[in-house]
Amino acid sequence: MIPVVSCVGKSRSGKTILLEKVVRELKSRGYRVATVKHTHPDFDIDQPGKDTWRLAQAESDIVAISSPSKMAVIEHLDEEITLSQIAGLFLGKADIVLAEGYKNANLAKVLVLDAGRSQGDLCGQGKILTTITACLSSEGRPQFLDEEVAHILNLLIARINTHSLKARDV
């Protein structure tokens, strides 16, 4: 199985900003990275009136759109699938899955706190690998020290390497 780590924290704490930095750095080191964003149940990536939207409105269970450079699949579900099930879709295509959200899932997590917030019930089950605290920039946006990003990268690379060793031993 691919190692899965989720960034959890309150809205606007800097989770996406942190993940952007981590993904870019992992990619620069040659890793294949998949990301998953957990969101509210009413999200929609289709645009009303477009072909994929029209096909979904016609009650197609799965709609895919594909081009030479990317593909998207929209599947209507009767119940939410787990992050592990989603990660299974990336088997052989990614070295690690980084998620944003899934605070109640039983998996490894990076807890992102903005200044002055406590952990509270942000973690649910699972193991907290590390806690990172965002400082606010002069514009009021969360920012992270380079040392914090490097610390997270080291943890993630250790998880990737541990997974790779296990895969070869089996």
What residue spans define the domains of the chain? 4-41+80-169, 44-79
Q: What is the pLDDT of residue 33?
A: 96
66 DSSP β-pair partners: 71
What is the model's pLDDT at position 124?
Answer: 60
Q: Which residue intervals of 128-170 are DSSP H helices?
A: 146-169
Q: State whether the Cα torsion 83-40-103-38 is positive or negative.
A: positive
pTM of the model: 0.83
Whose tokens are 């989770």? That residue is 15
Where the chain has pLDDT below 50, the residues are 166-170
The confidence score (pLDDT) of residue 119 equals 53
Q: What is the pLDDT of residue 170?
A: 32
Nearest to 14 by CA among 5, 22, 25: 22
pLDDT for the residue numbered 30: 94
Topology adopted by domain 4-41+80-169: Rossmann fold (3.40.50)
User: Cα–Cα distance between 140 and 124 in angstroms, integer?
Assistant: 28
